[in-house]
Structure 1
Amino acid sequence: MTSRPAHDTAARLGSWLAAHLAGTGRSVAQVARELGVGEEVVRSWLAGRGSGDGEFARLDTPARLGAWLRARIADSGCTVRELAESTEHVSRVTVYYWLKGEHLPRPPTGDEPDRFDLLLSNPRLGLTLRQRVELDEVRRRLTGTSLNAPPPVADWPDRALPPGDRAFTGRGEELRRLDRLLREHHRGRAVVIAALTGIGGVGKTALAVHWARSRAARSRFAEGCLYVNLNGYAEAPPLGPEQAMARLLEQLGADPETLPAAPEALAARYREGLRGRRLLVVLDNAHAEPQVRPLLPDEPSCLVVVTSRNRLDGLRATHSGITGIALDALTAGEAASLARHLLGLSRGAEEAPVAAFTAACGRLPLAIRIAAANFRTHHARTSSIGEYARVLGGDRLGHLHAGPADPSTSVATVMDWSYRHLTAAAQRTYRLLGLHPGPDASAALAAALTGLDADGLRGPLLELVRANLLAEDAHGRYAFHDLARDHAAALAARTDTADERREAVRRLLDHYVHTAYPAANLLRPSTHELALPLGEPCPGSSPERLAERGAALAWFEAEHAGMSAIAVNQAPGEFDVRVWQAAWALFGFFTAEGRLGEHGGLQRAALAAAERLGAPTAQAHMHRALSWSATRMGRFDDSRTHLLRSLELSLQTGDLVGQAATYNSLAVLDGQQERYAEALDHSRRFLALFETAGNRTGVARGLNVVGWFHAMLGEYDEALVYCERALEACRDLDPRERGVLEPKVWDSLGLVHHRLGDFARARGYYRLTLDRNRELRDRIGEGEALACLGDLHRSSGDPDAAREAWRDALAILTDLGHTAAADVRGKLADLDAESA
């Protein structure tokens, strides 16, 4: 019996399999599961039909593949948008990238969807199974993952390289960058070095090993791979360059007894051993540049991959051709894919518990692996994944360890190894930064926490960034990985005394309050009627001086989350004065930005602090602050309770300005409930009190509010008199206060002229109001002005303009949770009904 050639058998198998798939409608993934093999195997059988010289042979660059796809989409009669919208997991932007020949994805390594394959499978493209398989092979060829590439040496010399990780998933962008590096090396560039850097446990070694064992890398480096663990961050001391050279030479077959002892002679022997050889060299877990430099070959046929928690910036000063690849935590999809694999879950498993599980692990690969092992070993029979995620969230570092016998499987221990290599100043900075609960910190905040000046802090911060214990963004802000923050805070609790930690928090709170209160007055001078007696900041707190409104807004945007968190998290009786002052300062920002629901917890904590202090003025402030959002969110009973208590406290202390501010808030509350007569009475009291107090800003505000409620009662002549007096009073104020108050008066005048039928004048005032509110970034004012413009357009017979203005208003007011959103929504519904 005559045997068939292997390639003929492979081609017949591929043809039969293609016909089977076409006839049954099964997918490659389904067939792979039925046969108990991987998808890669099934695709290799399909690709074995020898189609390399078919219609796609000329698609030898990503740009040519993109051009072919563009033409196919055009022939299909649909647009890129239509194609993307009808393809799950594929966005329009992604398709445009592929059409330009950019960001062509490798086949996924986990159970995440293969977006390229999903696009090819879209029925609108009309591709046959054979075409899809061949185009998939084109993609694989262009990304260095071809199933038809020349096979690597069967007994490829991996030497000391660790085994591959079968659970490896994700890291698509990093793998593409390494593939590009391989192509550059193939084109004859001198020694190319990839530095994979990131926090401990982020998966640097796993990525390096996975890529080193890829088909593309093994095909390129037929003579194999050298690997050495430099122990840069481990329980054992770091490996010296001479020790590392000796181990690498032994992997090349050198007899350790014959290796020279002199460093220069050993280095020469190392260079000689690499000469003319095509080798991949993996230097794992490097500590610093001096440990790595002697190990970098000058042989152009070698390529080097270095992994380190240190950024190794100094290598660029002495070696060209270095590509830095910084690894961050896994994406949400990658983390979920890894967790499902480790937990033995199908892709259809409920997503929320898995997402909570990976979030509790900070999406750090090491943490996910440890948590998954613990769950399967100790918790799977007694709790769900969601319940275990809640347990993890309560004490992440306490749970993220596999056992005392193996310190490498403890997240805290892995981070300890990084910490031990820091200088004393960097260690202290790391610990104290862990006391800050915000998402990130500026250098000024770090200075306040540590009590160091800018010069003294520069070195420790740079050291922490280079060690990948902090990440610095383009705006000069420093952020922890979530688990690193927990680690730093735990170290502070163990290392620094309670007094040292308390003084660090005191400096931070003083920095926040003494920066925020003047900044809040830049945003809304008319909101802060009473200057707070802040006192002097404590030494080392170094408050920032902000001179103009834009800088104040930028500061609050960056700092409000951290400032709120540090104030709320203080134990009762700790820093009560600073807690309520911080809340009052932040109130100016929240009102300016229209953030209705963000500050309730902070204001309640501040009210409790003011009550513990027995400070009636502070309590009155906090009651008014709590009433502000309650009114605008429709909780009118809550608002009135807070305001009546605020009025009572202000009357007790004889605080005229506080009484006036409370009457103003009562007028707004009654106005929201269309109780205009009561609102007018409150606003008259508000005006009279500010006149008695001699507060010019308050008088201008009071005149406008009285005019507004006259208009609400249909008393337009009186309204015009008061509003025009208010506009005149604004001219006597300083530019900042005038800039804030004028749009409120223009809004009132717009309403009056609208009601009087003078649409042109009303439109002019509303436009002025809208433009100024946008300039001030007053989102509530912007939404309300748009709503008024919509009313005006409707009255003047322009329903299309009314619809556009109301839609814009609705988007803003809905986003803010403002009660006025329901009114605007009703007007739009009425307008649509009339059109129908």
Structure 2
Amino acid sequence: MAEEPNPSNPKVIKMEGTAQDESKLTQIGSVNAENFHLNAGQVQFLVHLESGSKAESPGVLRAGDPGKSLAYWQGRTAEIAQIQQWLTDENTFLIGIEGIGGTGKSMLAAKIYDEIVGFPKRFWADVSNGASFSDLARQVLTEFGFPVPEQEAQLVEALVRCLRSGQFLLIIDNLESLLQPDRQWGSLFYGDFFQAWVEHGGNSKVLVTTRERPELKGFEWLPLKGLQVDEGVALLTVLGIRGDLTQFVELVDGHPLLLRLVADLLKEEYSQDPDLSRLADLGLGNLRQFLTDSQVVGVHRRENVGMVLVLDASFNRLNELQKALLLNISVYRGAIDSAAAVAMLPGSSAAEIEGELRNLVKRSLLVEKLNGKRRFEFQPVVLEYVRYQAGDRTEVHQRAINYYLLNLKQKPWQTKEDIKEYLEVFHHWVQLENYDSAFDILWACNDFLILRGYYTIQVDLYGQLIAAWKKKAERNNLNHAAAFTSLGNAFHSLGQYQQTIKWHEKSLDIKIEIGDHKGQATSLGNLGNAYDSLGQYPKAIDYYQKSLEIFQKTGDRSGEGASLNNLGIAYRGLRQYPQAIDFFQKSLKIFEEIGECRGEGNSLTGLGNIYYLLGQYQQAIEYYQQSVEIFKKIGDRSGEGNSLGNLGNVYRSLDNYERAFDYYQQSLQIQRKIGNLRGQANAWFNLGLTLEKVYRESDALGAYRNARERFQEMGVNAELLLCNDAIERLSQPKTPVVSHRGFWVWLLRLWRWVRAWFRR
């Protein structure tokens, strides 16, 4: 920002500059220098405050009780009445509270959450840390007592079904944290969920708070402004402030946070006489002049101008330790305890830091939360201000990294909460533009993310790295190629095969460019897997053969075994069973020799599949059971679920429907937990076949429809046709039968049961 004198009028200052973010800063205007003293930094922050949102990388969802004190609540009767009307309107499904920072959107939502009647179950979710939809949906479903499919594409459907089944209230706070500057979603599936909820709806309501509206129809919006004059006066009165309260509330348009900041500043500085006339002593004597100057408020919102001036005054009255504390802890995301604050100022004692944190709470610069453990967090607008003041934060980002590294939770991990420190380290490395270190910390928990089905977390984080590398024009980087591979694998697990092919091809290009032969073989194999999943077996075989040749040439036995196993799968798809058996046996021998258990399990599964197709059921059962034992031992839930489903197939073919049904249910439960879309589709289809066999046509129809939805999502046409045929067959009107049909049905069921019992 530069201040440049205007030669034609020495009392007029022309103010121009460039914003520190990517927003556009236009000319502020010409203002009389005698009554205008906004400095360059203040103008810069105003532009920053009024610029678009930037989506956060995925962090940990803050859910449960809003944790907001309503002790000084005043008014908002008209706003509450409007929201209550929407909450009782059967045609309203989405409600949005929109307003600038500090207008009390979250407080109003908390008031609704605490006091609204008619919703026996409710859920509060603060997404200000960029929480993924996966976290939100899983926690809501768990709280409301519904089964949790962990694959995010299924979570959209599951959450909508959950909300349709009862009368629930879901509040999503700080939605702007999920939006990019163009108001598009920065995280997968939120837009899909809101769109699906608008289309289907129900008795439940979804209420959001945001500074910016997403590009989405179907909302009833409440634009939230400041308090009414009498409400603002009541707030200042209960806070113990004296003076011309009415005039001041009118001046700041009743902005709640601005009123609190001014009140707390006066009480802290002049506890015996907190009168508004004291503002002049705090450097705010010209506040009225600024907020009534059309050349100032004509460009910026009056509340924002007032917020900048009051925050400046509050910050300038802090002691050096308080300033340093605020600047340093602003590097964190979300609420922190005093230990995290001490890590930012290693020369200070824990007691000293704890005391200063509480002093900052008294000034409304921090908010204290007492949910079991004392924690502190910023008001969102205050956080933006402090971060803007902090300037270069390289050192504090490094301190945050060191703090989290010292507090990493050791394996075994069970939930995403167990790796939250890893995700925070990733975030800070990205802020430092050290993308290789960010990749390394993400890679440390990559297997966990895969095994637990957090595929969209991988998509978000690896996608963030790839976009950053692209911006820096970095290409010949092994980590960059590995990120492409991980992104492709994540999309493959989500059943999005065209995206899978796109990213694996990019990974292959890099590996060819940098001469990574083993990496080339891996990418070729991954491309083969994608085409195999699409049923394009000749193309898959071509990729597998190329992969096999490279692994054999480089002496990579594990890679050679994997390629042989993949070829067995492809030849099975072509129904060339002798060739498939040969490939599986070769791969099994290699994996046994090198002691690679997962490879053994895969080869055993492949052999079981072939013998099942050949009708040699007992041999198939033996191979499948061996594979189940291996997958259980190494914790491979996907392999275990697939083998259980395969055992179900065998027992269905043996007419032992009870055991088949049990295996399919076990498989479906696992596939849901890990988010395997194809596994879920196969399990549902096989359950449909089994239910048909025992004349439960209605249940079978539902199973086929579930399978069809998943196959449609994946774009797999062959299985989709089978589902459609089954649904059409069961949807046909039934021909009337003679009255004694029930007896023959019962007799046939008894005969099948007796035959299955003797075959055990």
**Which TM bucket (shorter chain)?**
0.3 to 0.5
Q: Give the structure-2-normalised TM-score.
A: 0.47
Q: Give the structure-1-normalised TM-score.
A: 0.43
Q: Tell me which structure has the larger Cα radius of gyration.
A: 1
